[in-house]
Amino acid sequence: MRARCAARLWELVRPAWRAGGCPRARAAFAVLLGGTLLAPPLLPRPARASPLADRAPALPPVPAAVYAERRARLAARLAEPARPLIVPSGRRPAGEHDIDFRVESDFFYLTGLELPEARLVLWREQGRAAAALLLPRRRPGGERWEGPALHARSPALRALGFAQILEEGSAAADELLARLGPPLALAPHRRELAALRLRKDPHEIARIEAACAITARALDEAMRTVEPELTEREVDAVIRYVFARLGAARAAFTGIVASGPNGCVLHHRPGTRRLRAGELVVMDVGAEYERYAADITRTVPVSGRFSERQRALYLAVLRAQDAALARVRPGATLSEIDGAARAALAAEGLAQYFHHGTCHWVGLDVHDAGEAHTPLEPGMVLTVEPGIYLDAEGIGIRIEDVVLVTEDGARLLSAGALRHPGAIEARMRERGLGNAPLPPPATAPGRKRL
């Protein structure tokens, strides 16, 4: 191809060359011809799949009627129906440009909106639920920094079924609040909201399952990556990258990557400690997808293979988890599930090393709202997470999964995350994102390519 280009170039300029011409022009042409023949080939950029190809199809949006029905159920439980209940969305913390705002979960559950400094006003009128949305005053100067804000005339808000959408401090907002009278205390109604939030609808279950699928993929990649001399933070960075790559808005909580003796610290944060051959590393992480959380824990051997002692302890925890999972069904309680895990570990002589509860609720928050003594019903979502922590040996082992209560038992929403030691070891024989070396810098330090 290059030779054909050079030949064509020669055909075009040959008449002028033979007729004589400027020596400088002849020299320039010789350089051009030589460059055509000798320059390195221009290779096409390798084809690369779109990052979106890794993501599952987007879930259908939650209909506005779902949020309206939630508001109606809460309104039916108001202590004094004529008086309003005001649910705030939360304020941005100081230094908001540096901190990711996360709306209050009760506000989101009732509205589906992520708006700072907004308030939902809920009351009953003529036996039916009524709701108004109060928005913060618009700040044109602030919108220059943060982008356009939703306002009372935004079509997206008008479609959500609120009786009124008003601006805080406006005459209309003041008139509404004066007409409704003093608001009800929020704290007692938080308990009512917690009871409503405990049983998830299909939209919520789909989002928790999506968060679990993303978290399982991240743990899969972390298993490939783990090797001696990496730091805990490097492993955590791989997990958070996969979260972002697969469409998670954020991590549902500060993840735990705890190697060696750090695995015995229940809420250890990833640090600069290097993973050492022969140790275990506990990874307790969860993605947040469309505001719903996952919470999955896996424990893996840094060297890629469990020692005989590590395998025996891991299998004991796995049997305890299986015993607890077998108790998840309608009518059971969290304490019964916890008791099954403890009995299994006691049979192995390990109960004294189990230092936390086995279960918590999962939903809009990773430790979701709800009373721990509530009997299980279909639609409830919880974790099952036995663990043992042997300080003298520097061994911590925890296995945690997210479980949906069904009509006839339970379904593991986190089934995509490998649990069995043989499967974990097989995955760890593969290379991961964190094992690839960084390419060298394109230019020498301190020099900028123009």
Domains of the chain, first to last = 7-35 (no CATH), 64-195 (3.40.350.10), 199-435 (3.90.230.10)
Q: Are 382 and 207 in contact (CB under 8 A)?
A: no
Q: Which of 45-49, 77-81, 201-205, 318-322 has the lowest mean pLDDT?
A: 45-49
* pLDDT higher than 90, residue 206: yes
Query: Could you report the per-residue pLDDT of 226-280, keeping only the tens digit for each?
Result: 999 999 999 999 999 999 999 999 999 999 999 999 999 999 999 999 999 999 9
pLDDT, one tens digit per residue, over 397-431 is 999 999 999 999 999 999 999 999 999 999 999 99
Per-residue pLDDT, 155:
77
Q: What is the mean pLDDT of the chain?
A: 88
- Determine the average pLDDT of the residues in 302-331: 98
Torsion of CA 136, 141, 144, 146, to 10 degrees: -30
* Percentage, residues of the chain above pLDDT 70: 83
Question: pLDDT at residue 89 above 90?
Answer: yes
Q: Is 199 left (phi over 0), alpha (psi -120 to 50) or beta?
A: beta
- Confidence (pLDDT) at 12: 56
pLDDT at 441: 80
Look up residue 95 and give its two tokens.
């230094």
The model's confidence at residue 61, banded by pLDDT at 50, 70 and 90, is very high
Name the band, by pLDDT with cuts 50, 70 and 90, for residue 63.
very high
Cβ count near 328 (within 10 Å): 24
For residue range 2-59, what is the model confidence (pLDDT) as tens digits?
556 556 555 655 655 555 556 555 555 555 555 555 555 545 555 555 555 677 778 9
Q: What is the pTM of this model?
A: 0.86
> What is the pLDDT averaged over residues 323-331?
98
